[in-house]
Amino acid sequence: NMKALKKGRLVHGDLSEYNIIFSKDVYFIDMSQSTTYDNPRAKKFYLKDLQNIKKLFERYKYNSEFVEKEIEGLI
């Protein structure tokens, strides 16, 4: 999940609905393009990943206010 990526100081860089598996837990796949926080573009990639997650939840009518709060806690 996003907290595990943060703990590992990694940014997925291409997170979208096609790279997330929802089952009992949530899994991110296709991590080959991930980068570390040291990358000068890491923040840009990270914010894009978070925006993609927000759009995904909004599409399925999840409370965007809740999603915003969760995202803010990760930045």
Which of the 8 DSSP states describes residue 32?
A: G
Set 14, 25, 38, 49: catalytic member: 14
**Catalytic residue check, 25:** no
Cα–Cα distance measured from residue 46 to residue 55, given in angstroms and rounded to the nearest whole number: 14
**Catalytic residue check, 30:** yes
Asked if residue 13 lies in contact with residue 35, where contact means CB atoms within 8 angstroms, the answer is: yes
Q: Which residues are catalytic?
A: 14, 30
